[in-house]
Amino acid sequence: MFGVVPSSPVLLAAGATQGIVLGSIYVLIGALLGALTAFLIGRYLGRDFVERRGWMDALAKTKFGGWLLDEKTSQRRLMLAVFYCRLIPGINLDALSYVAGVTRIATWRFLLATFGALLPYTVLLVAIGHQLVKLGPTELVIVLLGILLVSAIPVLWRYWPVRSAGS
């Protein structure tokens, strides 16, 4: 259940083809259904899988795993954890949904936290996609090249040869 297509281009395309309102609605419905599916897999299959391998005890001994799995942890705290984790750039949202399914969080709280965290990001990128179609060909090429350049910076940074100061 791990996404094979990055979500940002999908959000931009939704805005370009469907407009801001419908594009946002379609994307949010799809994102919530995907998150719910992963959550339910984690809920009904994941906990047994993790317990059979002995990982649950190891997880419960960690700083964060201890309160995530604690029976006394409040639903509000679990909900806030899902909400804040969904706001962190680069975190695997599919894995987050699976892990949330292993915790005691109520399904409706998981969906509400997911919706709340995805809403601003979704509307923003859908609106940008909607505006991109209004650009002329030259401006569109410049914007797309800028996006590619900014996207390439982390890759270039990782593989750029590092030279020591004494060389």
Average pLDDT value for residue range 73-89: 87
The confidence score (pLDDT) of residue 1 equals 41
CA distances from 110 to 39, 51, 82, 103 (A): 8, 22, 7, 10
The confidence score (pLDDT) of residue 143 equals 78
HSE-up of residue 52 (Cα within 13 Å, Cβ side): 5
pLDDT digits (tens, 9 = 90+) for 12-36: 889 889 999 999 999 999 999 999 9
Q: Give one word for 155, left, alpha or beta, with left for phi > 0 and alpha for psi -120 to 50.
A: alpha
pTM over 0.75: no
Report d(CA 131, CA 11) in Å as an integer. Answer: 12
Check whether 124 has a pLDDT greater than 80.
yes
| Domain range list for the chain | 7-133
Tokens of 33: 């259904």
Tokens of 5: 């297509």
Average pLDDT value for residue range 145-152: 78
Query: What is the 8-class DSSP label of residue 46?
Result: I
Contact 46, 149 (CB under 8 A): no
